Amino acid sequence: MTNSTKTLCPYCGVGCGLEVLPPAQPGKPVNRDSEGTPIWQVRGDRNHPSSLGKVCVKGATVSESLDKCRLKYPMMRDSLSDEFRRVSWDEALEAIVNRIQTVRLTQGSDALCMYGSGQFQTEDYYIAQKLFKGFLGTNNFDANSRLCMSSAVAGYTQSFGSDGPPCCYEDLELTDCAFLIGTNTAECHPIVFNRLRVHHKKNRKVKMVVVDPRRTQTAEAADLHLAIKPGTDIDLFNGIAYLLMRWGRIDTFFIDECTQNFSAYADVIRHYPPELVARNCGIRIDELEKAAQYWGESERVLSLWSMGMNQSSEGTAKVRTLINLHLMTGDIGKPGTGPFSLTGQPNAMGGREAGGLCNILPGYRVVNNPQHRAEVEQFWKLPQGTIQPQRGRTAWEMIQGLETGEVGFFWITATNPAVSMPDLKRTQTALKRSPFTVYQDAYYPTETAAYAHILLPAAQWSEKTGVMTNSERMVTLCPQFRDPPGEARPDWKIWAEVGRRLGFEEAFSFKNSAEVYAEFVQITEGRPCDSSGLSHDKLRAYGPLQWPYPDAWPWLEGEDLEQQNRTNKRLYTDFCFNTPDGRARFAAYHSKGLAEPPDEAYPFVLTTGRLYGHWHTQTRTGRIPKIKKMHPEPFIEIHPKDAEKLNIEENTLVELRSRRGKARFLAKITKAIAPGTLFIPMHWGALWADHAEANALTHPTACPTSLQPELKACAVQVKIATEEEWVVTSLEFGVKSYLK
């Protein structure tokens, strides 16, 4: 095979198009990695509408990880103290089915849980929902999107009546003012940032505002950097709104005709005068006024945010209060404008479409809506009342269920909660108590594999065919272009086989992923995320397409196709929203601040984040030499003033303690972090460094609406690490964790 394959990068939610070629090409030496293994050649797909041929270091090197440390065969053990033994698929699946049946009989379906991933293709997500929420009768499916995008989902749903980012990447090149908050876009979504940066450089009138306690690469490019105190986002938004009201920079016609609840919002923002907001946020009044001026004087304002907003005990309130500014000024539904969440994972959007959280159902339906449940039951040919009316367990509630013994079966797939969950020592202790854990992944070892009773080898990107949806609702077909190693299987095939073995043969009799997708898109018909006109064949013929894409749309070519594609680039272009009366909703929130603010005992605020080269818990990127060289070890950023007070010098080994645990990092002294605030990367688990787990420190307190934990901020104390104290307190924290 010498032909290239067009696909999608399997890392972040930007959704960059890739073109992949086999290691051997006519007249050229075989492409090999540093160990001599042939590797597929990767380059950007110039025809992909989202990325236009650009690719970051993660996408460019992704093929180097495909053959390293792969899980190739099913493995089992009777207890966590035993060694794994290789078994057949029949033996592994029989054990899983028997356990499911036993738990259903003895504890009920609510004792079954699955924790999934934004790494899934949409077909994987859909089959998991059909199996668990439909035929097993439990809504206990949650995904790592709960830790990533659930606040954005809740914010969109409450403000607009439905999930779904209303903007597109073309808006990056049409906006007058880009307002970025809670996102280090230059490192975490670099191709998005590159498009915005080029537009900003070419147009002197275009303004960029970046809100972040750190002076990141993103902030370096801004016209205005607001280094606000962590947890003061709502203060800032309400303060900007106060000034816009004072200056008359609001769209009264849009407010009157297209929104509700403005009066309650106006009553709140009058309590946020500039003097108070500047003091609360830790910025100057003129900086606040400049931000409001940029917003008020621009015709097209585009806001961008990510984990810094979502991962908060006020996550939904923050998202909705940012959306308020767009509603206040009418900056939505038009080119270059709108609130635009930058999705964390490659197919978190597809997961939302397929119902991949414990409170939602396929087709942007919600569990607590009787009509929505009835529609899905009818589609799946289930008796009325099969789908439970209450949401299932969130990811953290699954951990709590392991603690109490209420969870009797835990299936983890394509994610690594033994590193990524908050209050990590408590999480790990709960995982040890699980009576039966199935772990399904492409790689071995991972930190979570240590807590599993059964390991199932999964085919990953490149080894199965399916679709993914990126941040701008662009759906891309990702074809299989190599065989999976050993006996690895696609996730959807594994779950479909379990469904058949449980006796649901007809419902799970799919021959291939194209049939799965064909069924899924039918259930979206007439919904806000209508994809009923899409299919593997259409995506293969036309390339990536955005939803909504209803079945009524004909097959077109040339200029007709381009015109059709332009009609669905943005949502709410008619200013009619997915609420019962078609009006968007203002939200009236006062700022509450951090769930765990600093105090005398724990005087610093710790924030966490991603680095340019690494991805999540390094399951892929930790095995790529170029990226390991780029980011060789974890570190802590500390301001020079704080370092001086604590006698900390550059590269000093520093110990951090929170109320839950401790970790050690080499100090990086920099003015890029605000005094009183510390930063550590979140990528290093026990496989990659000693005692450098960011989430050993974080807490699980979550937004009451989105149920997303506040992974972005916790209170810590800092001191120079000493080995004797480290050993003693490590034992102490271990005992505390066990007793919880």
Q: What is the pLDDT of residues 421-464, one digit of tens each?
A: 999 999 999 999 999 999 999 999 999 999 999 999 999 999 99
- Mean pLDDT of the residues in the chain: 95
Confidence of residue 291 (pLDDT cuts 50, 70, 90): very high
Task: Name the maximum alpha-carbon separation found in the chain.
Answer: 72
Mean pLDDT of 339-345: 96
pLDDT, residue 736, reads 39
Q: CA–CA separation, 232 vs 336, rounded Å?
A: 27
User: Among the residues of 6-77, which ranges form H helices?
Assistant: 57-61
pLDDT, residue 310, reads 98
Residue whose pair of structure tokens reads 């299987």 in the numeric block: 489
pLDDT, residue 3, reads 87
Mean pLDDT of 636-652: 97
Mean pLDDT of 691-707: 98
Mean pLDDT of 522-547: 96
Confidence of residue 725 (pLDDT cuts 50, 70, 90): low
Confidence of residue 357 (pLDDT cuts 50, 70, 90): very high
pLDDT, residue 731, reads 47
Percentage of the chain modeled with pLDDT above 90: 93
Mean pLDDT of 44-72: 96
Specify the amino acid at residue 202.
K
Query: In this structure, what token pair is assigned to residue 372?
Result: 């929505």
Q: CA–CA separation, 651 vs 315, rounded Å?
A: 34
Measured in degrees and rounded to the nearest 5, phi and psi for residue 226 equal -105, 105
Q: CA–CA separation, 220 vs 184, rounded Å?
A: 10
Confidence of residue 724 (pLDDT cuts 50, 70, 90): low
Percentage of the chain modeled with pLDDT above 70: 96
Count of beta carbons in the 10 Å neighbourhood of residue 718 = 23
Residue of higher predicted confidence among 293 and 26 = 293
* Statement: residue 36 has pLDDT above 90: no
Query: In this structure, what token pair is assigned to residue 47?
Result: 């025809």
The predicted model scores a pTM of 0.96
Alpha carbon 286 to its chain centroid, in Å, reads 34
pLDDT, residue 727, reads 56
Q: Which of 631, 600, 594, 637 is nearest to 615 (CA)?
A: 631
Question: Exposed/middle/buried for 28, CB within 10 Å: 0-12, 13-18, 19+?
Answer: exposed
Based on C-alpha coordinates, what's the Rg of the chain?
A: 25
Domains of the chain: 5-65 (2.20.25), 75-146+346-568 (3.40.50.740), 166-342 (3.40.228.10), 604-720 (2.40.40.20)
Count of beta carbons in the 10 Å neighbourhood of residue 211 = 27
Mean pLDDT of 527-539: 97
Q: H/E/C letters for each residue in 517-569? A: HHHHHHHCCCCCCCCCCCCHHHHHHHCCEECCCCCCCCCCCHHHHHHHHHCCC
* Statement: residue 654 has pLDDT above 50: yes
Confidence of residue 1 (pLDDT cuts 50, 70, 90): very low
Mean pLDDT of 633-660: 97
Size (the chain), residues = 740
Confidence of residue 289 (pLDDT cuts 50, 70, 90): very high
Confidence of residue 135 (pLDDT cuts 50, 70, 90): very high
Q: Which of 623, 648, 629 is nearest to 637 (CA)?
A: 648
Alpha carbon 464 to its chain centroid, in Å, reads 22
* Statement: residue 702 has pLDDT above 50: yes
Q: What is the pLDDT of residues 296-314, one digit of tens each?
A: 999 999 999 999 999 999 9
Q: CA–CA separation, 403 vs 399, rounded Å?
A: 7
Cβ 311 vs Cβ 550: under 8 Å: no
Q: What is the pLDDT of residues 238-255, one digit of tens each?
A: 999 999 999 999 999 999
Query: In this structure, what token pair is assigned to residue 380?
Result: 């799946």
* Statement: residue 620 has pLDDT above 90: yes
Q: What is the pLDDT of residues 464-485, one digit of tens each?
A: 999 999 999 999 999 999 999 9
Q: What is the pLDDT of residues 182-219, one digit of tens each?
A: 999 999 999 999 999 999 999 999 999 999 999 999 99
Residue of higher predicted confidence among 420 and 729 = 420
Measured in degrees and rounded to the nearest 5, phi and psi for residue 199 equal -60, -45
Cβ 190 vs Cβ 172: under 8 Å: no
Q: Which of 194, 188, 58 is nearest to 630 (CA)?
A: 58
Mean pLDDT of 526-539: 97
